[in-house]
Structure 1
Amino acid sequence: MNLRAKAREIVAQMTLEEKSSLCSGKDYWYLKLIDRLGLPSIMVTDGPHGVRKQLSSSEDLGISENVPAVCFPTAVSMACSFDPALLREVGQSIAEECLQEGVSVLLGPGMNIKRSPLCGRNFEYYSEDPYLSGHLAAAFIEGVQSKGVGTSLKHFAANNQEKRRLTVDAVMDQRTLREIYLSGFEFAIKQARPWTVMCSYNRLFGEFVSQNEYLLTQILRQEWGYEGLVISDWGAVVDRVKGVAAGLDLEMPHLDRTHDERVAQAVIAGDLPVALLNQTAENVTALLLRARGQKRAQYNVSAHRALARRAAAESAVLLKNEGNLLPLNPSSSVALIGAFAKNPRYQGSGSSRITPIRVNDAVEELKSLGLRFEYAAGYFEDADAPDEGLLAEACQVAAGKDVVLLFVGLPDRFESETFDRETLALPQSHERLIEAVSEVNHNVVVVLYCGGVVEMPWADRVKSILLMHLGGETVNGAVADLLLGRVN
Structure 2
Amino acid sequence: MNKSNKPCLSAMSIEDKVALLTGNGLWKTAHLPAHGIEPLTMTDGTYGVRYSPEQIDNDGNWSITDFLGVVNQHADDQTDKKGSEALFGHTLPATCFPNGSALACSWDNELVEQMGQALARECQALGVDILLGPGINIRRTPLSGRGYEYYSEDPLLSGELAASLINGLQGEGVGASLKHFACNNSEYRRTEMDSIVDERSLHEIYLSGFKRAIDKADPWTLMSSYNRLNGQQTSQHRGLLHDILREQWGYKGLVMSDWYGVKDRPASLLAGNDLAMPEVARDKSELLSAIESGEVSIDAIDTACMRMLELIERIGAARKQPRPVDMPAHHRLAQRIAEESIVLLKNTDDLLPLDTTHTHKIAVLGPAAHTPVIQGSGCATTVPSILDRPLDEIIDVAGDAADVTYSAGVADGATSSEQALLLASAQAEAADVAIVFINTAVGEDGENGDRQHLDVVASHAELLNAVASVQSNVVVVLMNSDAVVMPWLGQCKAVLETFFAGQGVGRAIANLLFGLKNPCGKLTVTVPNSLEETPAYLHYPGEALKHYYSEGIYVGYRYYDKRKMTPCFPFGYGLSYTSFEYRSIELVNDKLGTGESLQVDVTVANTGVRFGKEIIQLYLSFPGIELAQPPLALKAYAKVALKPGESKTVRLTVGADDFRAWHPALHDWIVEAGCYQVKVGPSSRELPLSAAVQVAGSDYRLPLKEDSSLVQVIKDEQAFQRVVTLVADKSGLDQAVITERLQAIAPELFCGLFIALTEFLNVPVSRPELLDALRSE
Looking at structure 2, the residues matched to 382 and 447 of structure 1 have their Cα atoms a distance apart, in angstroms, of 15
Secondary structure of 2:179's partner? Answer: strand
Q: Secondary structure at the match of 1:154?
A: strand
- Provide the rounded CA distance (Å) in 1 between the counterparts of 2:180 and 2:5: 26
Paired letter, 1:430:
H
Structure 2: which amino acid aligns with 1:368?
D
**2:313 alignment partner AA:** L
TM-score by length of 2: 0.61
Determine the C-alpha separation between the residues in 1 that align with 2:427 and 2:8: 71
Q: CA deviation at 1:6?
A: 2.2
Higher normalized strand content (fraction of residues): 2
Distance in 1 between residues matched to 2:149 and 2:90, nearest whole Å: 21
Please say if residues 438 and 457 of structure 2, whose CA atoms lie closer than 8 Å, have aligned partners that are also in contact.
no
Distance 1:243 1:99 in 2: 31
Number of the residue aligned with 1:432: 462
**What is the match of residue 99 of structure 2?**
74
Distance in 2 (alpha carbons) for counterparts of 1:5 and 1:77:
44
Is the partner of 1:188 in helix, strand or coil?
A: helix
Name the residue aligned to 1:320.
346
Residue aligning to 2:404? 373
- Give the TM-score normalised by structure 1: 0.97
- Structure with greater Cα Rg: 2
Per the TM alignment, residue 9 of structure 1 is displaced from its structure 2 partner at its CA by 3.5
- Point out 4+ residue stretches in structure 1 off by more than 3 angstroms: none
Distance in 2 separating the partners of 1:382 and 1:32 = 45
Aligned amino acid, residue 343 of structure 1: T
Structure 1 segment 199-238 matched on structure 2, within 5 A: 199-238=224-263
Tell me the secondary structure at the aligned position of residue 155 of structure 1.
Answer: strand
Deviation string, structure 1 residues 414-467 (Cα, Å, up to 9, x no partner): 322221111111111011111110000000000110011101101011000001
Out of 257, 276, 279, the position equivalent to 2:303 is 279
Farther-moved stretch of structure 1 (280-289 vs 453-462): 280-289
Q: What's the counterpart of residue 35 of structure 1?
A: 33
SS at match of 1:374: strand
Q: In structure 2, what residue type is equivalent to 1:8?
A: K
What is the aligned-residue identity percentage? Answer: 40
Match for 1:285: what amino acid? L
- Residue 368 of structure 2 is aligned with which of 335, 340, 357? 340
For 2:162 and 2:31, how far apart are their aligned partners in 1?
30
- Listed as ranges, the gaps of 5+ residues in structure 1 are none
- Residues 354 and 514 in structure 2, CA contact (< 8 A), matched pair in contact too: yes
Distance (whole Å) between structure 1 residues aligned to residue 6 and residue 313 of structure 2: 11
Q: Deviations over 1:361-403 (max 9, x none)?
A: 12211222214311111113453x4211111110000003111
- Report deviation, 1:4: 2.5
Are 2:441 and 1:443 aligned?
A: no
Give distance in 1, aligned partners of 2:369 and 2:413.
15
Counterpart for residue 157 of structure 1: 182
Deviation at 1:143, TM superposition (A): 0.6
Q: Which has the higher contact order (CA 8 A, sep 6+)?
A: 1
Is residue 2:262 matched to residue 1:264?
Answer: no
State the alpha-carbon separation in 2 of the partners of residues 27 and 109 from structure 1. Answer: 23
Match of 1:479 in 2: 509
After superposition, residues 399-418 of structure 1 pair within 5 angstroms as 399-418=429-448
Q: Which amino acid aligns with 1:375?
A: Y
Q: 1:411 to 1:55 in 2, by over 3 A?
A: farther
Who is 2:588 aligned against?
none
Cross-structure match for 2:223 = 198
- Cα deviation, 1:32-88, whole Å, max 9, x if unaligned, reads 121122111110000100100112223222432211100000010011011111110
CA shift at 1:299, angstroms?
Answer: 1.2
Partner of 2:648: none
Structure 1 residues 194 and 381: alpha-carbon distance in aligned structure 2, compared to 1, 3 A threshold: farther
- SS class of match (2:430): coil
Cα distance in 2 for partners of 1:227, 1:464 equals 49
Counterpart contact for 1:99–1:298, Cα < 8 Å: no
CA distance in 1, matches of 2:311, 2:471: 60
Q: Retained in 2: the 8 A contact 1:381–1:411?
A: no
Match for 2:497 among 453, 464, 467? 467
> Conserved in 1, the CA contact under 8 Å of 2:376 and 2:443?
no
Cα separation, 2, equivalents of 1:364 and 1:311: 19
RMSD: 1.2
1:300 to 311, 314, 326: 326
Q: May I ask how many residue pairs the two structures share in their alignment?
A: 484
Tell me which residue corresponds to 2:49.
51
In 1, the alpha carbon distance for the partners of 2:207 and 2:19 equals 31
Correspondence for 2:759: none
CA distance in 1 between partners of 2:112 and 2:300 (Å): 36
Amino acid at match of 1:98: C
